């Protein structure tokens, strides 16, 4: 028994069908030589062969031929078993398999067909029948390969288009976040730090990487509603009066309205609604939730809706902790930055009142990350 390979495509004359790799499996080496000789006369030169039936499936998987000629009656492992192994393997199941058989038994043919045989060739092989059958099988294989390649290319195009849409939406999100920051530039890199703190807290709470990244992006927009506030209130260098504070609190609902989209009808007109919605909707829904709920309090005394406990979405509870921590630890027109340990002490007093205890615990456990984020994203003026 042996495994044999030959490859000499110089005689193919540039015909891609004649350059195809043909696998021949037969326990009688003389039969392999006869079949190969007939095919060489027809112009085929690229062969992999074996007379070792147990090695056949492995050879086919390794060599990835374009067509297989397979004997049925072989010792140890018969052709039907090999055919079933081929059809069960995702890598080679699409390869055409022509059954070589001297049997006229209909049950053998039925078994081969049920196992996935492409065609039959009677022994002794008629050379006038062999070449056309091989050619037809290769046409089927070429068609399959074309469809498979087209499917791969189409999937890549869809992935690229989706990535482009995601990139576009991220640019919009970052642009809105920057707009809010420029409008209220006394907070410097506030939105960046809140985003990073929120991501650290989400990781500690067990969120998967994809959700953590989305949460971090959405958190950039938590204060976007401040775009709609008057300068006299937004930039006031001191504590706000009760009436002014009431106006300031409107930034949550303003933010929600800014992020909320009513543009799907326009997207439908250009057939982008499905891709755009798949990319945009989860991110902007999350951003809107954060903008609307990051000032709610665990005990129900927050704003704008006085939600309490787990009525507040987890993203809102996370950003509430991140936002207050950054407000305490940063320089503002009406106060100096508070040292980090003191910030934690102040926030602990509001455990179970302002803050979800579980999120506050996550802040404690992630203090190394928090200190690093604080250092890497310090306000220029605060660091000066």
Residue 64: CB atoms within 10 Å: 12
Is CATH 1.10.3210.10 correct for 184-383? yes
Q: What is the CA radius of gyration of the chain?
A: 35
**Among all chains, which residue has been given the structure tokens 């642009």?**
175
Q: What is the greatest pairwise CA distance in the chain?
A: 102
pLDDT tens digit sequence for 136-153: 888 888 888 788 788 788
* pLDDT for 200: 97
Burial of 285 (0-12, 13-18, 19+ CB in 10 A): middle
Give the span between the Cα atoms of 295 and 316, in whole angstroms.
8
In what helix (H) or strand (E) does residue 210 lie, and over which residues does it extend?
helix 209-219
- For residue 267 the two structure tokens come to 């997207």
pLDDT tens digit sequence for 65-87: 999 999 988 888 888 899 999 99
Q: Contact, 229 vs 246, CB < 8 A?
A: no
* pLDDT for 383: 40
* pLDDT for 85: 92
- For residue 70 the two structure tokens come to 């397979």
* pLDDT for 12: 37
Contacts of 39 (CB under 8 A, 6+ apart): 22, 47, 130, 131, 134
* pLDDT for 294: 97
Give the span between the Cα atoms of 378 and 188, in whole angstroms.
8
Give the span between the Cα atoms of 309 and 218, in whole angstroms.
22
With a cut of 50, which residues of the chain have pLDDT below it? 1-2, 8-16, 263-279, 382-384
Give the span between the Cα atoms of 86 and 113, in whole angstroms.
13
Is CATH 3.40.50.2300 correct for 3-151? yes
* pLDDT for 173: 73
In what helix (H) or strand (E) does residue 247 lie, and over which residues does it extend?
helix 242-248
Give the span between the Cα atoms of 180 and 174, in whole angstroms.
10
* pLDDT for 185: 56
Nearest to 58 by CA among 35, 80, 85, 20: 85
Give the span between the Cα atoms of 48 and 21, in whole angstroms.
7
* pLDDT for 102: 77
In what helix (H) or strand (E) does residue 81 lie, and over which residues does it extend?
helix 79-88
CA angle at residue 190 from 351 to 382, to 5 degrees?
105
Give the span between the Cα atoms of 332 and 141, in whole angstroms.
70
* pLDDT for 280: 52
Burial of 238 (0-12, 13-18, 19+ CB in 10 A): exposed
User: What ranges do the domains of the chain cover?
Assistant: 3-151, 184-383
**Among all chains, which residue has been given the structure tokens 């492995």?**
58
DSSP state of 351: B
- CA dihedral sign of residues 167, 169, 171, 177: negative
Strands lying side by side in the sheet with 21-25: 3-7, 46-50, 21-25, 67-71, 97-101, 119-122
Give the span between the Cα atoms of 207 and 351, in whole angstroms.
22
Nearest to 232 by CA among 221, 223, 243: 243
Contacts of 214 (CB under 8 A, 6+ apart): 282, 283, 286
Task: Report the Cα 224 to chain-centroid distance in Å.
Answer: 29
């Amino acid at each position: 028994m042996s495994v044999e390979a030959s490859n000499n495509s110089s005689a193919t004359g540039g015909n891609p069908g004649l350059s195809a790799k043909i696998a021949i499996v037969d326990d009688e080496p003389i039969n392999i030589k006869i079949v190969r000789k007939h095919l060489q006369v027809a112009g085929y030169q690229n062969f992999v062969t074996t007379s070792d039936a147990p090695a056949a499936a492995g050879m086919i998987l390794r060599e990835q031929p374009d067509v297989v000629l397979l004997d049925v009656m072989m010792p140890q492992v018969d052709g039907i078993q090999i055919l079933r192994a081929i059809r069960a393997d995702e890598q080679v199941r699409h390869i055409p398999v022509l059954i070589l058989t001297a049997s006229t038994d209909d049950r053998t043919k039925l078994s081969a067909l049920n196992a996935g045989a492409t065609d039959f060739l009677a022994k002794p092989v008629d050379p006038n029948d062999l070449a056309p059958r091989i050619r037809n099988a290769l046409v089927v294989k070429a068609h399959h390969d074309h469809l498979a390649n087209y499917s791969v290319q189409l999937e890549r195009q869809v992935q690229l288009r989706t990535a482009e849409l995601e990139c576009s939406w991220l640019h919009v999100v970052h642009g809105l976040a920057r707009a809010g920051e420029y409008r209220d530039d006394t907070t410097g890199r506030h939105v960046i730090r809140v985003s990073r703190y929120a991501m650290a807290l989400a990781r500690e709470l067990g969120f998967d990487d994809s959700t953590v990244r989305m949460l971090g992006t959405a958190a950039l927009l938590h204060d976007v509603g401040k775009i709609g506030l008057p300068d006299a209130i937004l930039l006031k260098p001191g504590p706000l009066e009760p009436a002014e504070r009431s106006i300031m609190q409107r930034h949550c609902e303003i933010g929600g309205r800014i992020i909320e989209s009513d543009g799907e009808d326009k997207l439908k007109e250009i057939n982008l609604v499905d891709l755009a919605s798949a990319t945009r909707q989860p991110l902007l829904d999350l951003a809107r939730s954060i903008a609307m709920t990051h000032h709610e309090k665990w005990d129900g005394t927050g704003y704008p809706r006085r939600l309490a406990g787990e009525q507040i979405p987890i993203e809102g509870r996370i950003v509430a902790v991140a936002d207050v921590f950054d407000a305490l630890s940063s320089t503002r027109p009406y106060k100096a930055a508070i040292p980090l340990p003191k910030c934690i002490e102040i926030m602990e007093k509001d455990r179970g009142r302002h803050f979800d205890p579980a999120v506050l615990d996550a802040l404690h456990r992630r203090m190394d990350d928090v200190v690093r984020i604080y250092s890497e994203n310090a306000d220029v003026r605060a660091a000066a």
